[in-house]
Amino acid sequence: MTRAIIFGAGPHGGVVVEVLRAQGLFEVLGFLDDNICTHGTFVGGVPVLGGIEWAVANAAEDLAAIVAIGSNDARVAAANRLRACGVQLVNAIHPSAVVMGNTELGTGNLICPGAIVVAGTRIENEVILNTGATIDHDSVVHTGAQVASGVHTAGRVTIGRGAFIGVGAVLGPNVSIGDGCIVGAGSIVLSDLPANVIATGKPAKVVVQLTEPVDWRRLLAGGHGGLPSQ
């Protein structure tokens, strides 16, 4: 089996280690994290080995890695740091997920239990497809996007770089979601949405123009606590 490390020793890391175990292709050596308070602790029985310097010191050992960070921007940045150290980024795909033939997968992606990726679809790098999310045919999910649990898209949908699609949202055919766009939980998207906005509703409409960074920690904890107000 390929030896692998996971960057990010938070709750999301606990999900990733279980997906890798179920996948059966990797021996998980441990976690890396920039937070020195986590060093020497364990996540899911797996030790936190250190920070990025551990990857630098061990890059010649044919290591594989995946980043387990919920923040889209931070996940992409960490993956780029690992690549710069010579570490290979791999995909964590749960055995219960369905990734059809004639799909294109980049690297550093997490595809959770029950997710479905239909033929003709392209998933770039550092994408999260959460539990039960479905991406229909001939769609594109760009680098750093995150698709929450229970999201369903129709065919030929484009999800922009760093976009976030909230729990249970539905994306109609041929719609395009702009880079950095946040679609609220349960929304129904029937027309294109621009970059760097928050859109909610049935049908979804733009409610906030994002002019400052999103507090991903609070956003992923639930609700709109991490989002700027109107």
161 close to 146: Cβ distance less than 8 angstroms: no
Q: Is 137 an active-site residue?
A: yes
Residues in CB range of 180: below 8 A, 6 or more apart: 160, 161, 162, 163, 195, 196, 210
Residue 64's DSSP bridge partners are 4, 88
Phi, psi of 60 (to 5 degrees): -80, 0
Cα–Cα distances (Å) from 17 to 43, 51, 61, 117, 230, in that order, read 9, 17, 20, 21, 38
Assigned token pair, 151: 């999201």
Q: Which residues of 184-199 are buried (b: 16+ CB within 10 A; e: fewer)?
A: bbebebeeebeebbbb
Query: Do 193 and 210 contact (CB within 8 A), yes or no?
Result: no
Of these residues, 94, 137, 142, 224, which one is catalytic? 137
Catalytic residues, by residue number, are 137
